[in-house]
Amino acid sequence: MTAFRESVEAMIPALRRYARALTRDVDVADDLVQDTLVRALRSERLFLGGDVRSWLYTILTNLNKNRRRSLARRPQFMPLLEKQPRRQRDRSRKP
Protein backbone atom coordinates (compact mmCIF):
# COMPACT_ATOMS: atom_id res chain seq x y z
CA MET A 1 0.00 0.00 0.00
CA THR A 2 1.32 3.44 -0.88
CA ALA A 3 1.91 6.18 1.66
CA PHE A 4 -0.92 8.16 0.12
CA ARG A 5 -3.42 5.34 0.59
CA GLU A 6 -2.23 4.77 4.15
CA SER A 7 -2.71 8.42 5.02
CA VAL A 8 -6.18 8.39 3.43
CA GLU A 9 -7.11 5.27 5.36
CA ALA A 10 -5.93 6.83 8.60
CA MET A 11 -8.30 9.77 8.01
CA ILE A 12 -11.48 7.70 7.74
CA PRO A 13 -12.59 8.06 11.40
CA ALA A 14 -12.05 11.84 11.31
CA LEU A 15 -13.93 12.10 8.01
CA ARG A 16 -16.84 10.15 9.47
CA ARG A 17 -17.04 12.46 12.48
CA TYR A 18 -16.93 15.53 10.25
CA ALA A 19 -19.57 14.14 7.89
CA ARG A 20 -21.87 13.27 10.79
CA ALA A 21 -21.51 16.78 12.16
CA LEU A 22 -22.42 18.23 8.74
CA THR A 23 -25.37 16.00 7.96
CA ARG A 24 -26.72 14.91 11.36
CA ASP A 25 -27.56 11.60 9.66
CA VAL A 26 -25.37 8.52 10.04
CA ASP A 27 -26.36 6.91 6.73
CA VAL A 28 -25.91 10.06 4.67
CA ALA A 29 -22.60 10.72 6.42
CA ASP A 30 -21.32 7.25 5.58
CA ASP A 31 -22.35 7.73 1.94
CA LEU A 32 -20.49 11.05 1.84
CA VAL A 33 -17.35 9.49 3.29
CA GLN A 34 -17.52 6.64 0.80
CA ASP A 35 -17.93 9.05 -2.12
CA THR A 36 -15.05 11.13 -0.76
CA LEU A 37 -12.76 8.12 -0.61
CA VAL A 38 -13.71 7.02 -4.12
CA ARG A 39 -12.97 10.47 -5.52
CA ALA A 40 -9.72 10.80 -3.60
CA LEU A 41 -8.40 7.40 -4.66
CA ARG A 42 -9.42 7.93 -8.28
CA SER A 43 -7.71 11.32 -8.27
CA GLU A 44 -4.56 10.23 -6.47
CA ARG A 45 -2.45 11.27 -9.46
CA LEU A 46 -3.89 14.82 -9.25
CA PHE A 47 -2.76 15.25 -5.65
CA LEU A 48 0.39 17.35 -5.82
CA GLY A 49 1.47 16.90 -2.24
CA GLY A 50 0.69 18.94 0.81
CA ASP A 51 -1.86 18.17 3.46
CA VAL A 52 -3.98 15.11 2.62
CA ARG A 53 -6.30 15.96 5.50
CA SER A 54 -7.36 19.34 4.11
CA TRP A 55 -7.71 17.89 0.61
CA LEU A 56 -10.07 15.18 1.88
CA TYR A 57 -12.07 17.65 3.96
CA THR A 58 -12.44 19.88 0.90
CA ILE A 59 -13.72 16.97 -1.20
CA LEU A 60 -16.20 15.98 1.50
CA THR A 61 -17.40 19.55 2.01
CA ASN A 62 -17.94 20.04 -1.72
CA LEU A 63 -19.83 16.76 -2.02
CA ASN A 64 -22.07 17.83 0.84
CA LYS A 65 -22.72 21.21 -0.81
CA ASN A 66 -23.67 19.44 -4.03
CA ARG A 67 -25.98 17.08 -2.10
CA ARG A 68 -27.71 19.99 -0.37
CA ARG A 69 -28.15 21.88 -3.66
CA SER A 70 -29.66 18.78 -5.20
CA LEU A 71 -32.07 18.40 -2.29
CA ALA A 72 -33.08 22.05 -2.53
CA ARG A 73 -34.09 21.62 -6.18
CA ARG A 74 -36.42 18.72 -5.45
CA PRO A 75 -40.03 19.56 -4.85
CA GLN A 76 -41.21 18.81 -1.36
CA PHE A 77 -44.39 16.83 -1.15
CA MET A 78 -46.73 17.35 1.73
CA PRO A 79 -49.26 14.74 2.77
CA LEU A 80 -52.84 15.54 1.96
CA LEU A 81 -55.08 15.95 4.93
CA GLU A 82 -58.14 13.78 4.94
CA LYS A 83 -61.28 15.80 4.78
CA GLN A 84 -64.08 15.05 7.18
CA PRO A 85 -67.49 14.58 5.65
CA ARG A 86 -69.52 17.79 5.76
CA ARG A 87 -71.99 16.47 8.34
CA GLN A 88 -69.22 15.59 10.80
CA ARG A 89 -67.58 18.99 10.39
CA ASP A 90 -70.87 20.77 11.11
CA ARG A 91 -71.46 18.67 14.24
CA SER A 92 -67.96 19.26 15.57
CA ARG A 93 -68.48 23.05 15.48
CA LYS A 94 -71.66 22.98 17.58
CA PRO A 95 -71.18 23.12 21.38
Instruction: Give 34-52 pLDDT, tens digit per residue.
Output: 999 999 999 888 888 888 9
Dist CA 2 CA 16 (whole Å) = 22
Dist CA 29 CA 24 (whole Å) = 8
Tell me the average pLDDT across 45-70: 92
Between 84 and 51, name the one with better pLDDT.
51
Is residue 91's pLDDT more than 70?
Answer: no
Task: Enumerate helices (H) and strands (E) in the chain, giving the number of each.
Answer: 5, 0
Give the number of other Cβ atoms within 10 Å of residue 28's Cβ.
15
Is residue 94's pLDDT more than 60?
Answer: no
Dist CA 40 CA 6 (whole Å) = 12
Tell me the average pLDDT across 17-34: 96
Give the number of other Cβ atoms within 10 Å of residue 83's Cβ.
8
